[in-house]
Amino acid sequence: MSDVIDQASSLETKLNEVALANQLARAKSVKQQESAKECGECGDPIPEERRQKVPGCQFCTPCQSARE
């Protein structure tokens, strides 16, 4: 049973890595805009670390995940 869970966990990690790479590629391919300080969806503050790692981000991590 743990083999199935390990495989699922590994697959989830790979899919998350691909999603992040795709997001970063999209951010680089479009005209860059300044990262928002507040989420365009929920209005919560976007952490500075996210604003620096994902240039041009407009949504907090939970809202961005929901959009994807």
**Which residues neighbour 58 within 8 Å (Cβ) at sequence distance 6 or greater?**
33, 35, 36, 39, 40
- Secondary structure of 14-64 in HEC code, one letter for each residue: HHHHHHHHHHHHHHHHCCCCCCCCECCCCCCECCHHHHHHCCCCCCCHHHH
The pLDDT score that the predictor gives to residue 31 is 54
Q: What pLDDT score was predicted for residue 34?
A: 85
Q: Report the mean per-residue pLDDT for the chain.
A: 89
Q: Is the pLDDT of residue 22 over 60?
A: yes
Q: Write down the domain spans for the chain.
A: 2-67
The residues, ordered by sequence, that sit 6+ positions from 33 with a Cβ below 8 Å of its Cβ are: 56, 58
Would the pTM of this model clear 0.75, i.e. be above it?
Answer: no
With beta carbons less than 8 A apart as the criterion, state whether 58 and 67 touch: no
